[in-house]
Chains A and B, each alone.
Chain A
Amino acid sequence: MAAITKADFSPLTILVIDDSPFMIRLLAEMLAGFGVGKVLTAETAEEAFARMEIRAPDVIFCDWQMYPIDGLTILRRLRQHHQPQLACVPFVMVTGHNANEDVTLALGEGADSYVVKPFSSETLMNHLIKVIVGDKSHLMQPQMGSPKEMWAVE
């Protein structure tokens, strides 16, 4: 596949989950700078799932080290979600840890990418493009009876 050199992120909705007011603002502003159409934010797991039920995001950026419910628990809950569209949303784990076992654990639990702090605008863009290119969520059929629009299985 040819490398992506241009993009218009305005049709996308991205959810940022982080309990740090500084990090949540930083990530949200950087994504808005990229031109992302709608950036939703949540400081807790409960808030995140409540937001997802109202509007399914296209991509999620989630901090690992949160208290009391961490990003790995959120990822596990998401991947077991009863709505297939939510269960397969591209998920980028954001963390201060870069140990191999942490990366392996997050990817093994279903994270699509893993970004270590500190990261630059370019790194953030690379991870966003990576999960967009690898996204298969459009192939999923939503649950029958879902109020959302029905999509065909390819």
Chain B
Amino acid sequence: MNNASAKRRPSLLERISGPKAAPLSTLVKKGEAAAMRVQEGFGDFLGQRIRELTDARLRLAGAPSWEKFYAVVMDLRGSAAMAGRTSLVAVCHSLETLIKEHVRDARSAAVAGSHIDALLLLSSPRQTDDQGADRLIGELEQAVARLPRKTAS
């Protein structure tokens, strides 16, 4: 095949540089507005995820359940961060520490359950004030710290 006769594929930069190009600042504002519309629906998503955690909490004896549980926690943490819900992020972070660094047994499952209760409390419209949330998160972190740590393999 003669390359000289073949059509050159345009680069991505060339493809976005058409005559209809708009200022990036305008496009960023449109992206922001879209994000705000989606964030308004965070409550529905949160309720669904907490229900999944509550269901998973009943099955924490087996390793596969912990893995699924961890995946939901990670999703909730990232999504809550995007929605600006810092107290929920902190609870998820404490749960993540529990799952990653501590022995997974009945005691840790109970502490995980306390985290889910905290998520429920902090997600309700009548959620506790900032000081109350900080105190609650501090207590959860202390409960996690008291759990036996995994031994290095």
Contact = CB atoms under 8 A, between A and B. Distances in A.
Contact of A8 (B22, B45, B67, B75): B22
Given A32-B34, A96-B78, A152 B3 contact: yes
Of the listed residues B8, B9, B18, B70, the one surrounded by the most CB atoms of chain A closer than 10 A to its CB is B9
A65 B28 contact: no
B35 interface: yes
Interface string B15-32: 111111111100111111
B106 interface: no
Contacts of A145: none
Given A7-B16, A11-B18, A132-B13, A26 B27 contact: no
A125 interface: yes
Main SS class of interface, B: helix
A138 B6 CA distance: 13
Interface in B30-50: 30-35, 37-39, 41-42, 45, 48
A67 B71 contact: yes
A122 interface: yes
B45 A21 contact: yes
A66 B71 CA distance: 6
A135 B11 contact: yes
A146 interface: no
A129 B27 CA distance: 12
Contacts of B18: 8, 10-11
Contacts, number: 153
Contacts of B8: 138, 151-152, 154
Given A7-B24, A33-B27, A59-B12, A117 B32 contact: no
A72 to B, nearest CB: 14
A107 interface: no
Interface string B41-82: 110010010000000000000000001101100110111011
Of the listed residues A118, A122, A124, the one surrounded by the most CB atoms of chain B closer than 10 A to its CB is A118
Contacts of A65: 71, 74-75, 78
Interface residues of A, number: 54
A67 B31 contact: no
A151 B104 CA distance: 54
B134 to A, nearest CB: 20
Contacts of A5: 23-24
Nearest to B22: A6
Interface in B58-112: 67-68, 70-71, 74-75, 77-79, 81-84
Nearest to A136: B11
Contacts of B20: 8, 10
